Structures are given as C-alpha cells and as structure tokens.
Amino acid sequence: MWENYPLYNGKNSGVYKSTDAGKTWAKSNTGLPQGENIGRIGLAISNTNQDKVYALFDNRDKKKK
C-alpha cells in the first residue's frame, strides 16, 4: 500500500494480509521494517515453496552518522 502518492511513503505503508479471500485485511508487522519512511514494496512468492514470500522495501530512513 502506498499512502502518500506521489511520495510513495507513509506511516500506514506496509504489507497487508488477508485470510478470508480479501474480505478483511490486517497489517503484517512481524519481522518487517516499520515507520513513516517505508516506501514502495515489492513482493514475490517462491517458486519452490509457496508458503515463502520475499519482500523488498524502499526504506527512506536516514542512516545515523
């Protein structure tokens, strides 16, 4: 989900999961980056294990020096 088009980031951006064929959705927080600077997210399902999903996050948090 991209919350702030065209900036592509926002506090509600993240990966959402449905277990009832899309009737309801819940944000998946476990093991994933959090914060207001999460941008575009790419998802891919493993060809060899359909229970495994890969996620690539565009995280715009600035590194501390």
Query: With 0-12 CB in 10 A as exposed, 13-18 as middle and 19+ as buried, what is 58?
Result: middle
Which of residues 62 and 19 earns the better pLDDT score? 19
Rounded Cα distance between 1 and 6, Å, is: 12
Which of residues 6 and 20 earns the better pLDDT score? 20
**Where do the domains of the chain lie?**
1-65
- Residue 17, CB half-sphere, CA atoms under 13 Å: how many? 6
For the stretch 10-53, pLDDT in tens is 677 788 889 999 999 998 888 888 777 777 788 999 999 999 99
CB-based contacts of 1: which residues, under 8 Å, 6+ apart? Answer: 12, 13, 14, 16
Q: Could you tell me whether strands 38-45 and 53-59 are parallel, antiparallel, or unpaired per DSSP bridges?
A: antiparallel
